[in-house]
Amino acid sequence: MTKKSAPNWLGYIGLALGVLLIGYLVSQFELEKAWERISSIGYLSVVILLPFLCLHVVETYSWLQLFPGKIRKISFVKLLKIQIIAETVSMTIPAGMPIGESLRPFLCRRYMDIPVPTAVASVAIRKLMLGAIQGLYTLVGAIAGFSFLQSVSSLMLGFEGLGFILAGSGVVVFVAFMLFILLLLNGGAAQKIHGFLMLIPFRKVKDRLLEMESGFRETDQELKVIREMSPGKLVMVMLYYLVAWFMLATESYIILRLLGVDITFFQVLAIDTALSMLRAVFFFIPSGLGVQEIGYLAFFRVLGIQDAVIAGEAFVLVRRFKEIIWYSFGYLIMFLSGVHLRDAEQVRIVES
């Protein structure tokens, strides 16, 4: 019982911390001036929604490539719907990542009759690829904005080393996740996990694991199919995921330019990669509430941006409002599709 409730408590603590941080920051905002800056964008504000849409489209296409060719033609629209639902749940529910990821094979089975082991294999590789690409994205951002990161490092950390820290972190994350991918595709990974879980000294758990043994075996077979994909195709899939990651920096750059902030794309890329790693550290806070805002405001101040405080406040408000729109749309799709939060909870209980 404790094992199931611990992630929930961590998630709720993260949510409470995020809400407190956001509440404090907003209480310090000069909302009238920030709103004046936001209202100056006008009808071009619609453009702000596009990078996030592109991110989902590219991620869905990348995920589609990880399904074996023997599966009948998979509907891109249905897979995109599953992508949006799963991402919405992952980013808005306390400790929602395990629930959102569990929903993917569940919904693949429900809407496209894809065997669960096949979907699980694709989701597992997809998740590891995203981790590896986050490392590569961080490395690229650190290299592209190295001089900028080094110049602001003293003001932010008290020493010149932020560029090296980010580059090193990117390399470590990329190598670690690539090793995980190689281990998973090396054969028998799922059955080894099953064997390890069988060491748990509880009769009911062992009985449940014995019932699921064939599923673990089938998952290994599906992973074997992915392993037989050409290296060129796997590299291309990873490059697609890198493009998806770049949509985050593109979105931030578009918002800042529309707000009239004089900043280069490489500076935005460097800031975004730094805060993406920071957000990963505070994974238990839904959508990095408060953490990213503090990070952006700190970077804007040391950059010496004109009206840095007002620009930063406007940027933070626009970005969060964009998320409200997209996640509201995600929940609308979710409920119109007959998916409910209790389905996600049931999936998590079964998998735990």
DSSP 30-56: -HHHHHHHHHTTGGGGGGGGHHHHHHH
23 falls within a domain: no
On whether both 264 and 340 belong to a single domain, the answer is no
> In sequence order, what are the residues at sequence separation of 6 or more whose Cβ sits closer than 8 angstroms to the Cβ of residue 244?
54, 55, 58, 59, 62
On whether both 198 and 97 belong to a single domain, the answer is no
54 falls within a domain: no
**Run of H or E residues at 307:** none
105 falls within a domain: yes
38 falls within a domain: no
On whether both 234 and 100 belong to a single domain, the answer is no
On whether both 205 and 63 belong to a single domain, the answer is yes
The domain in which residue 85 lies consists of: 78-113+322-352
pLDDT at 241: 95
Residue 275's closest CA among 246, 260, 253, 296?
296
Distance CA 122, CA 115 (A): 11
On whether both 237 and 297 belong to a single domain, the answer is yes
Count of domains forming the chain: 2
On whether both 280 and 296 belong to a single domain, the answer is yes
On whether both 211 and 176 belong to a single domain, the answer is yes
289 falls within a domain: yes
pLDDT at 208: 54
Q: How far apart are the first and last CA of the chain?
A: 11
Query: Model pTM?
Result: 0.80
Contact 293, 24 (CB under 8 A): no
> In sequence order, what are the residues at sequence separation of 6 or more whose Cβ sits closer than 8 angstroms to the Cβ of residue 208?
none
257 falls within a domain: yes
293 falls within a domain: yes
Over the chain (352 residues), the average pLDDT of each successive run of 10 is 51 69 68 83 90 96 85 87 92 77 88 85 87 93 90 79 90 91 67 50 52 54 68 90 95 93 90 82 65 78 77 86 93 88 54 46
Tracing tokens 């996990």 back to the chain, one arrives at 193
Angle between helical axes of 265-281 and 116-144 (0-180°, round to 10):
130
On whether both 148 and 273 belong to a single domain, the answer is yes
On whether both 125 and 163 belong to a single domain, the answer is yes
Query: 272-279 — which CB contacts under 8 Å span 24+ positions?
Result: 272/141, 272/248, 273/137, 273/138, 273/140, 273/141, 273/142, 273/145, 273/166, 273/170, 273/249, 274/141, 274/149, 274/162, 274/166, 274/299, 276/134, 276/137, 276/138, 276/248, 277/134, 277/138, 277/166, 277/169
Altogether, the residues listed in the chain come to a count of 352
29 falls within a domain: no
**Run of H or E residues at 200:** none
